């Protein structure tokens, strides 16, 4: 059952088991606001168990491209298309959000992004491999992010 993410009234629903649930809910709301403002897309998520194909697709890209396995449990996921972009998100219990932006018409516009909720430590599997930049968000406090370019076809 999908849940629309409201960025006006931030809710921790679906993220309650995360130790950084309030900041994580803000991060999720920040993403929802971005897609609403830029593409007029309503951001909705499902429990990860109901979106297993999305979780599997993201995990396959991580494993194939960088031999990465995320230790934290996926809580929610979503996949949608805006314009010629296939977008997927997986939200993990630790407060980590991973998104895949996959341009269907341009292999040079494909990337995986990592965002860390305010208050969480950098996961061990990412710490030595990525540098994280900081950005401020009214909804999420300080978000730390990093990314890598996807080279393969998925």
Q: What is the distance between the alpha carbons of residues 154 and 136, in angstroms, rounded to a whole number?
A: 32
Q: Which residues contact 18 (CB under 8 A, 6 or more apart)?
A: 12, 24, 75, 93, 94, 95, 117
Which tokens sit at 104? 């269907």
Give the pLDDT score at 139: 82
Give the pLDDT score at 148: 97
| Cβ atoms of residues 89 and 140 within 8 Å | no
Which tokens sit at 9? 């009234």
Give the pLDDT score at 52: 98
Those residues of the chain that have pLDDT short of 70 are none
């Amino acid at each position: 059952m999908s849940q629309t993410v409201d960025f006006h009234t931030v809710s921790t629903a679906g993220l309650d088991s995360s130790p950084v649930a309030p900041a994580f809910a803000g991060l999720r709301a920040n993403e929802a606001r971005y897609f609403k403002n830029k593409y007029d897309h309503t951001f909705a998520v499902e429990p990860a168990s109901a979106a297993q194909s999305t979780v599997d697709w993201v995990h396959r890209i991580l494993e194939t491209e960088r031999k990465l396995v995320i230790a934290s449990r996926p809580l929610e996921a979503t996949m949608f298309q805006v314009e010629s972009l296939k977008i997927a998100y997986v939200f993990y219990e630790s407060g980590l959000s991973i998104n895949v932006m996959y341009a269907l018409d341009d292999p040079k516009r494909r990337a995986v992004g990592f965002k860390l909720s305010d208050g969480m430590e950098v996961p061990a599997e990412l710490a030595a491999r990525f540098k994280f930049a900081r950005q401020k968000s009214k909804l999420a406090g300080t978000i730390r992010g990093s990314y890598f370019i996807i080279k393969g076809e998925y």
